[in-house]
Structure 1
Amino acid sequence: MSEQAARRPGDVQLVAEAVTFGYPGRSVLDRLDLTVSPGDRIGLVGENGAGKTTLLGVLAGRLHPQGGTVRRHGTLAVVEQDLAVGEGDTIGTLVDATSAATRAAAADLQAVIDCFDHDGGDVGALSAAIARYEQLSAWDVDRRVDEGLSRLQAPRDRERRLAELSVGERYRVRLACRLAERADLLLLDEPTNHLDAGGVEHLTAQLREWTGGVVIVTHDRRLLDDVMTAILDMDPAMDGRPVLYGAARYADYRFARDQMLRRWRARYRAERKRARVLAQRLDASYEGLSDEWRPPKGSQPHRRATRARQHVKAADRLIERLEAQAVEVPLPPPALRFPDLPSVPPGYAGGALLELRAPRVAGRLDLPGRRVEVMPASRLLVTGANGAGKSTLLAALVGALGLDRGARTVAPGVRCGVLAQEGPGEHVPTPRGDGPTAFDAYARHALDLLEAGALDPDALVPVAALGLLTEADLERPLRELSIGQRRRFDLARALLAAPHVLVLDEPTNHLSVGLVDELTAALRATSAAVVVATHDRQLRADLADWPHLDLGG
């Protein structure tokens, strides 16, 4: 790691030294170092599959490093993307566990006070117990939990079983409880994925005031700006190591990252050019040496052969020196190659490609007197709080959900590409094992679309042409891909049929910040119609000039 984040005095919360971890046949972390002190708020970024979630699991103790050590000081709170749920666990189970830690601090303080000898008591122990009690604000934990559940739009019924909640609801309950704990070290994986604008505002305020250390995996560019004191880029730099950027703003990080990549590529090009020149020189020298074995009559063959051999030795030494000094540059992460999508189907007769009139889905969406239409090459940004009906509207628009009232019309031959908030790839179990490869699953989806008459074989978009997954990733079982890589797979599925209409629900969830930038530019430029529902504040700002449908809530 080339830099160290500025750290405030005080005990470190976490030290990771030379941490190494990998899965069978694939190294993920290689001798990684990281120090987190009180007040540090470190954002983990990098391409999907770079090891961000794996690193968080190692730091949390859920995964054991195969090399190196991780030392933690103080209490720990973790909210990962995959949340284990016990059969009988309820919301009350999480709330009670949260209160238990702070009540233990209160009990410890009371015990110290009760046993304190005013003549010769341990003042240090008393001071430590008071400081711990005040740090946790133990008297206020019930209010904090209640406020967190409310501000994060999480269910609050203590009797509801966690297994009955949606992924987003379970995450919000767990996040509210962990924030209320005020642990010394807080580890979060993509915390804004399931939050609306009000929830993100509450989370941001809590993180900015956090007195302990914080490590967050995030694609949220605005959160990086508002909260982080440093950014750890898990993508390797020129020396093959991750880089800790002290720049707290996303734009500063991207500028520094881009400058580094430009220097890296320039050096690589210069070395390849030098290698080609030396290789040509070596070939010419060997060719000259070969010619000397049958010199023309009257020449000085021994002198010429000796000189040729000297040239070969000199060229060999230059090649050896070059190889010793060479920089091994791994393949850069694949760049998004967005396909050229069509605007209208053959024989298009005019009018809307898709249209909803006065749609109503009982208990989820009701837009009396409203018409939502998607014209060729049009744009629509859909916003609203959690529960306002954004996902329901998008599902009804593409025909995946029936209406209790209203009407849906679709122009003949229109193909839709759909990226749901939780796509098929995200439901694949995470344990490693056998199963269809990503390529096989993509081919199966193509056959399903073909059988349904929703695919023109001449317009199929090959998954390998998109730059979303490497060839090695496509040959791996789908369940072995990271959550972010599976999200890339779901995006590729949405593009497979060369759709006339793209409907994307929270498209930035789980994607790397670099891919989010590329996707944003592609959505603005594509010839297809695009409908996007999102809470992502930066994406909303980037698409602020699009027609806007706010469902409120």
Structure 2
Amino acid sequence: MPAIILDDISFSYSSSPLLDHVSLRVGDGERACLIGPNGCGKTTLLRIVTGRLLPDRGTVTCAGDAGPRLIPDTEGSGGSVGEYLDASLRPLRVLFTRFEEITARISEGGGDRLAREYDRLLAQMTARDVWSLDARVDETLAGLGLSELTGPGRGRSLGSLSPGQRGRLRLAATLLVRPETLILDEPTNHLDAGAVGFLARTVNHWHGPVLMASHDRAFIEDTATVTYDMDIDVWRALARAEGADEFTGLHRCAGNYSDYLEEKRRARARHSELHAAQQAEKRGLREHRQAGARIARGGVRLARAEGMAKKYFADRAAATATRRTRNDDRRLEDLSRQEVRKPRGYELSFPMNPVPVRPGSALSARRVAVRRRLASTSFDLARGEHLLVTGSNGAGKTTLLSWIATGKPPAGAQASGTIASDRPIGFVPQHLPRAGDPGFAEEIWLRGIGELGRGILHPSMWTVPVPELSAGNQRRAQLAMALAGRPPVLVIDEPTNYLDLDTMEALEEALHRWTGTLVVASHDRWLIDHWHGRGLHLEPA
């Protein structure tokens, strides 16, 4: 049976291990998702599974062929879309040709060996659905939003495709080949809602083991039967407190994303309780030890005693103090072996409005439209209300939010209507910060955002030049700068872009608690499904 088995895998790019004693097993029909912050080694682990990287230690067993080993890369490849698909699907064409040859030879009178090979080929043909391959090509391309590459579109050159189209084409080829073991790395990147739904249905009907890494919470929710958490601090702390051997690798959580969230929430609560209890016990033991030192001094009776009585009280006080100190030292030593570190914080604390929210309208849009970019729309938003703007790609979400934030329609566009709003407005655009963006003057760009990042960006990052921050921390810096002036209105275009799962959850909780007026545009289905507030859906212009 196909399976993925990693046993005690370790790997490093430098002196510090990126993967340390990682073990996992994904069985036939199981769909496992790797979860963890950016840079924790998810992609590296998948490359080890597919054989693109060799581990420093440990063994890898990947029974059955794995998708990425079978599919050529679209990057740097020449030729047309059709030629790329032909190269990707050649193993299935060869399988079909061989099956026809064996069938013909058996009809002429073959032996047991041919019969066995016929049975083996028939099983492979059935498992990979070779019979309907030609029909599945167009169906899969269309399902992943590549209808323009069907029929005559197969003549397009690979070089004419966008990076997103090339990524979707390679994903389509992987699904068409139907490898026994399916390996996916951020498969929903560049997919719209319809394509994500198609991929989820395909993955859920996969017969072999599936191992994937994803930041798409709704996709994980819809597909995963087990998650492997690579952010192991809390699990390591709990194992240490229970006296277990040093916890390494990753932690297995059965179920989908909601199950993972609940299990990790309970683990973090337990971690916090343990840390508080241990610190209280340490304080108590130290106070008890100090009291023992006072006992050693003998108190009033020793001070007043004379002769033999003085020696008696001194010896008894010393013995009592020694016994207490030994017991305290022994308990402190035991505690040090099980002591857990202070839990790492994930919350984002937004600065609240300096004055209570006033009644009245914070934002009013009247018949705003931009030719070929934004269909006419009108709405009012009261102070303190939260609005989620949704719509397909090209429906004008970014156009609308930019108009709200800047107070001006797009330059050079045929626009109509009016937008009036409270000022100032804090704005986080869809793209990462650029030199000269509002709030990112030269001094901040080169020297870091300083204490303006309090509660949002870790203090160790306050003095790091903005271009040297990771994408996730640049996004945090944008949030900090947007909130620096304590604006009554906050506008964010795609807030979960560039963030890891923990930061997404923390950001959404912070946005939910924020008392100001909020306008958010997002395609993140998890955020949409869990939104608290009003909604505005834009239809294509």
Q: TM-score range by the shorter chain?
A: 0.7 to 0.9
Contact 2:390/2:535 (8 A) holds in 1: no
CA positional deviation for 1:451: 10
Higher alpha-carbon deviation: 501-510 or 200-209: 501-510
1:316 maps to 329
**What secondary structure is seen at the aligned counterpart in 2 of 1:245?**
strand
The code of the aligned residue for 1:266 comes to E
CA positional deviation for 1:177: 2.6
CA positional deviation for 1:206: 0.6
The alpha-carbon distance between structure 1 residues 303 and 535, as it changes in their structure 2 partners (threshold 3 A), is closer
For residue 192 of structure 1, the aligned residue among 177, 181, 188 is: 188
Q: Distance in 1 between matches of 2:281 and 2:444?
A: 54
The alpha-carbon distance between structure 1 residues 226 and 370, as it changes in their structure 2 partners (threshold 3 A), is closer
1:66 maps to 56
The alpha-carbon distance between structure 1 residues 405 and 412, as it changes in their structure 2 partners (threshold 3 A), is same
CA positional deviation for 1:544: 6.8
Question: Which residues of 2 match residues 355-366 of structure 1 at below 5 A?
Answer: 358-360=368-370, 362=372, 365-366=373-374
Question: Which residues of 2 match residues 420-499 of structure 1 at below 5 A?
Answer: 420=430, 422-424=431-433, 446-448=439-441, 462-466=452-456, 469-471=457-459, 487-488=475-476, 491-492=479-480, 494-496=482-484, 498-499=486-487
2:427 maps to 417
1:153 maps to 145
The alpha-carbon distance between structure 1 residues 358 and 306, as it changes in their structure 2 partners (threshold 3 A), is closer
Q: Distance in 1 between matches of 2:203 and 2:506?
A: 28
The alpha-carbon distance between structure 1 residues 463 and 532, as it changes in their structure 2 partners (threshold 3 A), is same
2:344 maps to 332
For residue 272 of structure 1, the aligned residue among 259, 268, 279 is: 279
Question: Which residues of 2 match residues 98-497 of structure 1 at below 5 A?
Answer: 98-113=88-103, 118-154=110-146, 155-156=148-149, 157-158=153-154, 160=156, 165-236=161-232, 237=235, 238-239=238-239, 240-241=247-248, 242-246=250-254, 248-286=255-293, 298=307, 299-300=310-311, 301=314, 304-324=317-337, 326-329=338-341, 331-341=343-353, 358-360=368-370, 362=372, 365-367=373-375, 369-371=376-378, 376-399=383-406, 401-407=410-416, 413-420=423-430, 422-424=431-433, 446-448=439-441, 462-466=452-456, 469-471=457-459, 487-488=475-476, 491-492=479-480, 494-496=482-484
Q: Distance in 1 between matches of 2:489 and 2:22?
A: 43
Q: Distance in 2 between matches of 1:162 and 1:461?
A: 47
For residue 518 of structure 1, the aligned residue among 502, 506, 520 is: 506
Contact 2:390/2:538 (8 A) holds in 1: yes
Q: Distance in 1 between matches of 2:224 and 2:535?
A: 32
Gaps of 5+ in 2: 240-246
**What secondary structure is seen at the aligned counterpart in 1 of 2:228?**
strand
Q: Deviations over 1:389-410 (max 9, x none)?
A: 4334434544594352115656
The alpha-carbon distance between structure 1 residues 470 and 416, as it changes in their structure 2 partners (threshold 3 A), is closer
**What secondary structure is seen at the aligned counterpart in 2 of 1:522?**
helix
CA positional deviation for 1:104: 3.0
* Mapped pair 1:32 → 2:39: no
CA positional deviation for 1:163: 5.8
**What secondary structure is seen at the aligned counterpart in 2 of 1:192?**
coil
Report sequence identity in percent.
30
Q: Deviations over 1:304-344 (max 9, x none)?
A: 445544443333233223333x1433642522223325799
The alpha-carbon distance between structure 1 residues 544 and 329, as it changes in their structure 2 partners (threshold 3 A), is closer
CA positional deviation for 1:57: 3.6
| TM-score, with structure 1 as normaliser | 0.77
1:529 maps to 517
Q: Distance in 1 between matches of 2:355 and 2:136?
A: 51
**What secondary structure is seen at the aligned counterpart in 2 of 1:329?**
coil
Q: Deviations over 1:469-502 (max 9, x none)?
A: 5455667787887665555555555545544443
1:550 maps to 538
**What secondary structure is seen at the aligned counterpart in 1 of 2:5?**
strand
The code of the aligned residue for 2:424 comes to V
Q: Distance in 2 between matches of 1:475 and 1:87?
A: 42
Contact 2:444/2:466 (8 A) holds in 1: no
The alpha-carbon distance between structure 1 residues 354 and 94, as it changes in their structure 2 partners (threshold 3 A), is farther
Higher alpha-carbon deviation: 265-274 or 302-311: 302-311
Q: Distance in 2 between matches of 1:145 and 1:412?
A: 52
CA positional deviation for 1:370: 3.6
**What secondary structure is seen at the aligned counterpart in 1 of 2:441?**
helix
CA positional deviation for 1:214: 1.2
The alpha-carbon distance between structure 1 residues 376 and 314, as it changes in their structure 2 partners (threshold 3 A), is closer
Gaps of 5+ in 1: 1-9, 426-440, 453-458
The alpha-carbon distance between structure 1 residues 342 and 172, as it changes in their structure 2 partners (threshold 3 A), is farther
Q: Distance in 1 between matches of 2:53 and 2:485?
A: 39
**What secondary structure is seen at the aligned counterpart in 2 of 1:281?**
helix
The alpha-carbon distance between structure 1 residues 221 and 359, as it changes in their structure 2 partners (threshold 3 A), is same
The alpha-carbon distance between structure 1 residues 219 and 493, as it changes in their structure 2 partners (threshold 3 A), is farther
| TM-score, with structure 2 as normaliser | 0.78
**What secondary structure is seen at the aligned counterpart in 1 of 2:534?**
coil
Q: Distance in 2 between matches of 1:42 and 1:340?
A: 40
Q: Deviations over 1:231-278 (max 9, x none)?
A: 2222221224432122x2433333332223333332332222222222
The alpha-carbon distance between structure 1 residues 516 and 419, as it changes in their structure 2 partners (threshold 3 A), is same
Q: Distance in 2 between matches of 1:57 and 1:185?
A: 14
Q: Distance in 2 between matches of 1:333 and 1:21?
A: 28
Contact 1:383/1:552 (8 A) holds in 2: no
The alpha-carbon distance between structure 1 residues 342 and 548, as it changes in their structure 2 partners (threshold 3 A), is farther
The alpha-carbon distance between structure 1 residues 211 and 492, as it changes in their structure 2 partners (threshold 3 A), is farther
Structure with more helix by fraction: 2
Q: CA RMSD in A?
A: 4.1
Q: Distance in 1 between matches of 2:121 and 2:465?
A: 51
Structure whose alpha-carbon radius of gyration is higher:
2
For residue 505 of structure 1, the aligned residue among 477, 493, 509 is: 493
The code of the aligned residue for 1:281 comes to H
